[in-house]
């Protein structure tokens, strides 16, 4: 009897440890969203207190200086600022940002929500064959949500291209050599005021 009781205690202890260990192992590593840079770029804090800049994959929000740029940033903030998220994807862009889908603890895909609500385009150059995302964009267009209230919204990649071209043109204009004109220098005699000139 004592032996059976002892083995039940051991079994209970092993099950309890397995349960606790199993729960911590299956829990996803959530990262806290600590900053919203713009609609499609956030900063997360890892468990070891490292800040990681994340560019939301497959979508492109209006730039902050574009129409609906600030609204997109606010939408992203309302959706995930201060919350725990997990990232799907670990590629990096040329700026060193992590490119990922951002998933809230409840399973909400932040990237897709932005497109669904008309605050982002599907970034077709980097989102090939994603029929679901294309469908969300088409639905937002039909319902005239967010940026689709404008009759002809400018995609951010075209806006950025225009900004780069304008900057390049301005740089070329400021670096153009000045034409040196030959100026006739006044002689010192011409600039001396005599008493007769004062009248």
Query: Domain with 125 in it: what CATH number?
Result: 2.40.50.90
Domain holding 79, by residue range, is 31-149
* pLDDT tens for each residue of 111-130: 999 999 999 999 887 877 89
pLDDT on residue 114: 98
pLDDT on residue 163: 84
* 172 in any annotated domain: no
Q: What is the mean pLDDT of the chain?
A: 82
Q: Quick one: average pLDDT of 161-190?
A: 65
Query: Into how many domains does the chain fold?
Result: 1
- Kindly tell me if the per-residue pLDDT of 178 is higher than 80: no
SS3 sequence, the chain?
CHHHHHHHHHHHHHHHHHHHHHHHHHCCCCEEEEEEEECCEEEEECCCCCEEEEEECCEECCCCCCCCHHHHHHHHHHHHCCCEEEEEEEEECCCCCEEEEEEECCCCEHHHHHHHCCCCEECHHHCCCCHHHHHHHHHHHHCCCHHHHCCCCCCHHHHHHHHHHHHHHHHHHHCCCCCCCCCCCCCHHHHCCCHHHHC
pLDDT on residue 175: 61
* 46 in any annotated domain: yes
Active site residues: 55, 63, 97
* 24 in any annotated domain: no
pLDDT on residue 135: 96
* 196 in any annotated domain: no
* pLDDT tens for each residue of 137-156: 999 999 999 999 999 999 99
């Amino acid at each position: 009897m004592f032996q059976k009781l002892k083995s039940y205690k051991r079994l209970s202890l092993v099950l309890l440890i397995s349960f606790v260990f199993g729960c911590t192992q299956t829990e996803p590593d959530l990262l806290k969203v600590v900053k919203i840079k713009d609609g499609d770029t956030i900063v997360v804090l890892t468990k070891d207190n490292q800040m990681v800049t994340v560019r939301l994959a497959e979508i492109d929000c209006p730039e902050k200086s574009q129409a609906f740029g600030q609204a997109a940033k606010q939408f992203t903030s309302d959706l995930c600022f201060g919350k725990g998220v997990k990232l799907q994807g670990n590629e990096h862009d040329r700026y060193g940002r992590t490119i990922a889908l951002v998933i809230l603890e409840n399973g909400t895909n932040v990237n897709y929500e932005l497109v669904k609500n008309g605050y982002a385009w599907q970034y077709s150059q980097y989102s090939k064959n994603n029929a679901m995302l294309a469908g969300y964009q088409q639905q937002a267009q039909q319902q005239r949500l967010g940026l689709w209230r404008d009759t002809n919204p400018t995609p951010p990649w075209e806006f950025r291209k225009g900004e780069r071209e304008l900057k390049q043109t301005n740089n070329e204009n400021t670096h153009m050599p000045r034409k040196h004109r030959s100026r006739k220098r006044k002689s010192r005699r011409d600039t001396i005021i005599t008493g007769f000139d004062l009248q």
